[in-house]
Structure 1
Amino acid sequence: MATRTFTYDFSNEVSGFRKKSSFPSGLFINGEFVDSVDGKTFELINPTTEKSLGHITVASEKDIDIAVEAAQKAFDTTWGLHASGQERGKLLIRLAELIEENIDELAALESLDSGKALAFAKSWDVQEAANVLRYYGGWADKVHGKTVEVDEATLAYTRHEPIGVVGQITPWNFPIWLLSWKLGPALATGNTVVFKPSEWTPLTALRIASLIKEAGFPPGVVNIVPGLGNVAGAAISSHMGIEKVAFTGSTAVGRALMKAAASSNLKRVTLELGGKSPTLILDDCNLDHAAGWAAFGILANQGQVCSAGTRVYVQDSIYDKFMEKFIAVIKRVKVGDPFHPETFQGPQVSKIQFDRIMNYIDKGKKEGATCLLGGQQHGTEGYFIQPTIFTDVKPEMTIVKEEIFGPVGVVAKFSNDEELIKLANDTVYGLAAAVFSENISRALKLANALKAGTVWVNSYNTIRTNVPFGGYKQSGQGRELGEYALENYTEVKAVHVNLSGSPPI
């Protein structure tokens, strides 16, 4: 049993949850919280104050072995093909209900260790996590194969069967929401899970573990093992007992994970990776709407969004008018304590991330771009960065080509749609894009020409539970959300039944 707990008193925070939160912070394996084999821990730092929040247990390679063993036993005895779709769906929907019943606490925890604004943590992260789990709960008894007509002497049909034990690894930018993206389709289709949240933001995953137990999931169906990427993550990606791994994170780590998967048991892999997404502002757009959505596309979640629209291309004839409105919107953004009700942008998640973003800002200045707005630390305490906009950029500049993952955007001009398509597609990524135009024919023509997994027209980052999300090129492979995500977690078996009984010889 685990001896470590996480406790935090929210009484002094401006939040809907004004009491103490306390829950086990050990590894959640086989339905119980346990200490790690080697006893190692990781210190959590509050990104708002830079002060310690305490320590959580982190998994070693041996702990991953134990979790995989528990998951396999559950798959063989109580889950997999042993639990009906109706039973699996009922448990997923119950977990969604428990998340909603504890929404204030979960939102407060999400803001505490990630730094995101409380209002967004509640509505965009925790509530959407509940929505995703409820959605896949509805799918659990609707995953089935087909009867295939062959000839009168043969019956052929397909079965969509669970893969088995799957490993899932998520990053620190949307801890609870991405947890639901992974658990929902995996559990709905009958798989068991070894889930590794980021060691930087594990609090909501650990609290969810308690709710999973309360909901009544059989032991071993979900195992939650916070740990370092190069230890626990590496063990999951190369484990011979894991048949499929799903990863959200950087393209560099995704590439390494694919190598590990290939060199071990050739496990199936789905990847949702980085992006450098373009926002296209056309001369026939609604300028006020475009300016607001473009700012949101850059600054939402402190810019720590894989699909962030950090390359803004503005038609030259409206450039000055757009920039006036765009900068005015950004200057109104409230940066500060994530628990303050007016805050939109909180701190970056960690000192490492803060330093990385500031390094990119310095590179932009050194390479000759104009830092039109921001470019400095906000305040003197916490990992806050001013909303930052660069102009006078060139396609070869580092800040134009590489994912920054912070509140930093670049703005450039274009003259015609043909030029715009080339600029927008000039990237190794292909996760998302946006087009702003009141001419729907023109907007759709551009949307169809963009090499991106998601294209928004006259909005940005409006992700929907029942609509697939994923990328082209080095932004990943496979799709999350919607019916498409179910394909990642089933094997299709074809069964041929000879009705004639007569052999060919």
Structure 2
Amino acid sequence: MPLDIPDLPLDLWIDGKPTPASDDRRFDVADPATGAVLAAVSDGSVEDGLAAVAAAEAAAAAWAATAPRERAEVLRRAFLLMQERSEELARLISLENGKALVDARGEVAYAAEFFRWYGEEAVRILGTVATAPSGQNRILVVHQPVGVAVLVTPWNFPAAMATRKIGPALAAGCTVVLKPASDTPLTALLVARILADAGVPPGVVNVLPARRSGAVVSAMLHHPSVRKLSFTGSTEVGRILLREAADQVVNCSMELGGNAPFLVFEDADLDAAVAGAMVAKMRNAGEACTAANRLYVHADVAGEFSRRLAERMSELRVGPGTAAETDVGPLVNADAVDKVDELVRSAVAEGARVVVGGDRPDRVGSYFNPTVLNDVPPSAAILREEIFGPVAPIVTFTGEAEAIRLANDTEYGLVSYVYTNDLARGLRVSEALDSGMVGLNRGLVSDPAAPFGGTKQSGIGREGGHEGMLDYLESKYIAVSW
């Protein structure tokens, strides 16, 4: 499918316009369904990264001084433009990411909502005033933009991860440099064009595709004008960036890896639990940090739950993301398929049993069949790391305490899912789970109006909700007498 997007920038987006890389280097963006090259995009260098920071710095004072209502209106227009171009954006996501169109359309709707939500939040940056306990002065607290922000986003949600960071940053009065994943830069570049059309001034939003990610991001983090880093990606890379950010004491928000448990108790509504598992596991073919990675099912209902889940998984149609009939598109690249294949083979060698799937389809492209594994031992390697693919490993438990222990037995703490018809148990277990979010009888937790983030090695800070904007603001205390 050709790109057929006349105003799609294929160069860097710096200071409000397409800009070739300083050394004229480019890299190819491929369609994971076929391997065909979609476009050649400018490959940003360290010099380009510093130029993008300089553009953001030059625009910072004027944007911070822009009236909150004006910033809000810009974001509202961006929301409307994303709605107008939703099908175009969805097809572009499917092409460069591989996800099925139904998932891509859902992502675009979700991504646009961050502009609407933060357009509403931009006018709600509220300070406080209080009398000091001594009575000697007033305590006046105001909130000001943190400054130039470097935003680093992953390939699995190329629109939503960009808008989830850009929205609150612009609402707070910050200027930004977005470094999108090199597998999926096209969506980010189209979002930059949409923001410009919505009235974002030159330099406020800069987009820097780059294969030389480490060197480019490091150089930006060491620039004295950069005061904020927001990163979504693996815990391994997050640790590296935290060390880099420490040199200039850069304010950091980190949305890192996940290893979500999905708990099904014996009293759960199995129809609802299976439907929830299909959402929590198969959204974006499992390529999500919120994906249900470990399915813990009570022994009394494990057989029936497994049977129903396998039946649903076997009905999913695998194919190119852009095909209307496709339920599960290709994974992002061949390396991703190799990793999933290795994890499944390892689980089988450790005693797991394949109920459905478990292999690659015989076709060109980065595909893996939807898979359900039974009898997975609690010590299996597949339960220790993110699968990032369409594989559901099922482990049985016999009691509430055991379920909580198994669920919390991970270095990650992003999201957990709980299915039970006992509300007291559901709330009790939700409080006991060591994760930043819980889906109680729900397979989807993401919402622009809610704080998204994790505990332990799943990250620092929150995105979404009012809390998401606070991450781009500094609190200033003024002692004053009158």
User: TM-score, normalised on structure 2?
Assistant: 0.97
1:445 to 2:438 alignment:
no
The alignment-based identity, stated in percent, is 36
Name the residue aligned to 1:307.
290
Aligned to 1:131: 113
Equivalence map 1:473-484=2 (5 Å)? 473-484=456-467
User: How far did residue 371 of structure 1 move?
Assistant: 2.6
Q: After superposing the two structures, state which structure 1 stretch, 28-37 or 238-247, moved more.
A: 238-247
Deviations 1:219-249 (A, max 9, x none): 1000011113223333334433211100000
Is 1:29 the counterpart of 2:25 in the alignment? no
Of the three residues 386, 392, 409, the one matched with 2:392 is: 409
TM superposition shift of 1:351: 1.7
1:100-499 aligned at under 5 Å gives the runs 100-122=83-105, 124-150=106-132, 152-228=135-211, 229-262=213-246, 264-499=247-482
Deviations 1:432-475 (A, max 9, x none): 11111111111111111101111111111231111111001111
Deviates more, 1:188-197 or 1:392-401: 392-401
Give the counterpart of 2:23 among 25, 32, 38: 38
CA contact (8 A) 2:78 2:195 kept: yes
Quote the residue 1:51 is aligned against. 36
Provide the secondary structure at the position in 2 that maps to 1:116: coil
Task: Give SS of 2:355's match.
Answer: strand
Q: CA deviation at 1:311?
A: 0.5
Structure 2 CA distance, aligned partners of 1:152 and 1:326? 64
Indicate the SS of the match to 1:278.
Answer: strand
Structure 2 CA distance for aligned equivalents of residues 9 and 294 of structure 1: 35
Whole-Å Cα distance in 2 between the matches of residues 142 and 54 of structure 1? 41
Is the 8 Å Cα contact of residues 373 and 393 (structure 2) preserved in structure 1? yes
Per-residue deviation, 1:368: 3.1
- Say which SS state the counterpart of residue 223 (structure 1) adopts: strand
Which residue of structure 2 lines up, in the alignment, with residue 65 of structure 1?
50
Task: Judge conservation of contact 1:197–1:205 (CA < 8 Å) in 2.
Answer: yes
Where do 5+ consecutive residues of structure 2 fail to align?
none
Question: 1:152, CA displacement in angstroms?
Answer: 4.8
| Structure 1 letter corresponding to 2:34 | T
* RMSD of equivalent CA atoms: 1.5
Q: How far apart are 1:114 and its partner, in Å?
A: 0.4
The letter for the 1-side match of 2:214 is N
Cα shift at 1:212: 1.6
SS at match of 2:457: helix
Q: Following TM superposition, by how much is the alpha carbon of 1:480 offset from its aligned partner in structure 2, in angstroms?
A: 0.7
Secondary structure of the residue aligned to 1:79 is: helix
Query: Displacement of 1:367 after TM fit?
Result: 3.0
Alpha-carbon distance between aligned partners in 2 of 1:405 and 1:434, rounded to the nearest angstrom:
17
What SS is found at the alignment partner of 1:438?
coil
Q: What stretches of structure 1 of length at least 5 have no aligned partner?
A: 1-7, 11-18, 500-505
Classify the secondary structure of the residue corresponding to 2:24.
Answer: coil
The answer to whether the 8 Å contact 2:221/2:248 transfers is: no
Residues in 2 aligned to 1:361 and 1:59: alpha-carbon distance in whole angstroms: 37
Q: Which runs of 4+ in 1 moved over 6 A?
A: none
1:317 maps to a residue whose letter is D
Structure 1 residue 316: deviation in Å?
Answer: 0.8
**1:183: how far off?**
0.4
Return the offset for 1:317. Answer: 1.1
